[in-house]
Structure 1
Amino acid sequence: MLENKTVAFIGAGSMAESMISGMIKANKVPANRIYVTNKYNGDRLTELRERYDIHTMLQKELPYEEIDYFIMAMKPHGAEEALENLKSKIRADQVVISVLAGISTDYMESHLNEGQQVIRVMPNTSSMIQESATALSLGAYTEKQHEKDVNDLLGCMGEVFIIDEEQMDVFTGLAGSGPAYFYYLMEQMEKVGVEKGLEAKAARKIVAQTIYGAAKMVLEKDEAPVILREKVTSPNGTTASGVEALKENNGGKAISQAVYHATARSKEIREELESAHVLH
């Protein structure tokens, strides 16, 4: 039962806050069972404590023996130090979860004690409103009960997809980084609305509702986006004109390249970290 579990976030950035917010809103993990820690930034910890009524402290003060799930949410370059710190303080029945791009289960296991249970997950910032698309990949030693608990935990924040770890880079390119692509698209659409006389707030809500509605159609109608697009694109109509402009300006290529580049960067980060570990 998740209400009896204790969760500690190592790192107090935007992803940690998104996940904390989702957990509390879903009422699965009580606030008094959530700990957040970082190395130096006491002001940020105070901000999170006042906002969510959770436990906050510097890393050296964390009650390691009481924690069921450690969620690594710092910058990827701080992962090795964080894992080495955990190694001497935790038991095999405690689970280490990474939400960091490029941090593989193999990498975590190589820095922890033999048999340590690890899970790699990739949420996105929509976890703050319980609408994340989140991937989950298991380490070599993870027990089924912990898989179920973590799946339930992540389910507090949206839809969970259990995938092979080899697919994690492309998932990062699609979903981990994906919200930023849509925000960028919304920026451009909102800008045109304002240029054509709409109030900024009205333009923003119009664009957001339009994207929300389109996404909901895909999820609820269970039809491919290409079919839905063709259904609303009348010959010689306004939509056809807009879609043609997207094609002429390589809109499809731009979107594809965003995913390709984010996927490649996720792979690069992983390879850089693995290479540094081998050299070390």
Structure 2
Amino acid sequence: MKIGVIGAGSMAEALISGLINGNVVRPEQIAVCNRSDRSKLMYLQEHYHVTVTEDKKELADRSEILILAMKPKDVEEAVLTLRPYVKKQLILSVLAGVTIETIQHLLGKKAPVIRAMPNTSAAIRMSATAISASGEATMHQVKMAKHLFETIGMVAVVEEDQLDAVTALSGSGPAYVYYFIEAMEEAAAEVGLDQEIAKSLILQTLAGASEMLMQSEKQAGQLRKDVTSPGGTTEAGLEKLKDFQFSEAIIACVKRAAERSREMQSGGQAAMEKVRKA
């Protein structure tokens, strides 16, 4: 399996790292191109020993799978320049808010396209990924894409209209967790805990809570109640979270991210209209 990656940002690197470290493909089976940042290409070549090129024809000609991993705002330019060289390759897109229909119209053909929404935990093979396929993708191609992403974490197959929600929840989710950890670290400092000790305690607490949810048949709400003694420290802390509308803030966060994904999708539709009229 030979893979071409268009884009060299954090998601591209996460995928490359996960695929290589997961022994899915060898470094020489991956080629990467980027629009302008030559230094990033050199970094990927040095750290992962992949092939780098600035020639999209060369990239497409050698690839069975083309992964679109550029910034969503650059999709129109990137796909239009790739368009003449796409023949029978499977197109995998990890672009938030860019529909299968938009990609196909930019390509000028009903190519097999599979949209995927992994997250940056792909770099350590712990991604939560959802995929959705176009009607042109064969069952073999869907299974191949699913297998590819399973090597960097868990995979759910969903309808395309669910991907905005997936983007908001698990795609952006690691950033929410990191933000929460930042706040916990600040709190630890304010109550006098050593920074390194606090970090270890926070991370193990999160890991333990996640594992507890995976192993237990109980829902998160019940587990929360199980550790909340009336009049105790946990209850006191949770009351403060309620005072600051913690649940409402998280719900608003996810809803806004999903809304932004739909807004980006609308931008892709506008690009598609430009191509139609061209």
TM-score range, shorter chain: over 0.9
1:225 aligns with 2:259: no
Instruction: Quote the Cα distance in structure 2 between the aligned partners of 1:223 and 1:62.
Output: 53
Q: Percent identity?
A: 37
**Residues 105-156 of structure 1: per-residue CA shift (max 9 Å, x gap):** 1111112243311110000011111111101000120011111111010011
Match of 1:31 among 22, 27, 30: 27
Match of 1:81 among 61, 71, 77: 77
Query: Which residue is 2:194 aligned to?
Result: 199
Name the aligned partner's letter for residue 126 of structure 1.
Answer: S
TM-score (norm 2): 0.95
For residue 277 of structure 1, report the CA deviation from its aligned partner: 2.4
Query: Which residue is 2:171 aligned to?
Result: 176
Q: Specify the SS of the correspondent of 1:100.
A: coil
Would the aligned equivalents of 1:137 and 1:164 in 2 still touch at CA under 8 Å? Answer: yes
Query: Which residue is 1:111 aligned to?
Result: 106
Query: Which residue is 1:165 aligned to?
Result: 160
Instruction: Quote the Cα distance in structure 1 between the aligned partners of 2:104 and 2:135.
Output: 8
Alignment of 1:1-280 (within 5 A): 5-60=1-56, 62-91=58-87, 93-280=88-275
Would the aligned equivalents of 1:173 and 1:263 in 2 still touch at CA under 8 Å? Answer: yes
Name the aligned partner's letter for residue 36 of structure 2.
Answer: Y
Distance 1:26 1:222, change over 3 A: farther
Q: Specify the SS of the correspondent of 1:126.
A: helix
Q: Specify the SS of the correspondent of 1:140.
A: coil
Would the aligned equivalents of 1:119 and 1:139 in 2 still touch at CA under 8 Å? Answer: yes
Instruction: Quote the Cα distance in structure 2 between the aligned partners of 1:277 and 1:252.
Output: 38
TM-score (norm 1): 0.95
User: Is 246-255 or 220-229 further displaced after alignment?
Assistant: 220-229
User: Is 8-17 or 223-232 further displaced after alignment?
Assistant: 223-232
Name the aligned partner's letter for residue 64 of structure 1.
Answer: A
Name the aligned partner's letter for residue 184 of structure 1.
Answer: Y
Name the aligned partner's letter for residue 56 of structure 1.
Answer: V
For residue 61 of structure 1, report the CA deviation from its aligned partner: 6.2
Instruction: Quote the Cα distance in structure 2 between the aligned partners of 1:119 and 1:269.
Output: 18
Q: Any stretches of 5+ residues in structure 1 without a counterpart?
A: none
For residue 95 of structure 1, report the CA deviation from its aligned partner: 0.7
Q: Any stretches of 5+ residues in structure 2 without a counterpart?
A: none
User: Is 192-201 or 33-42 further displaced after alignment?
Assistant: 192-201
Q: Specify the SS of the correspondent of 1:62.
A: helix
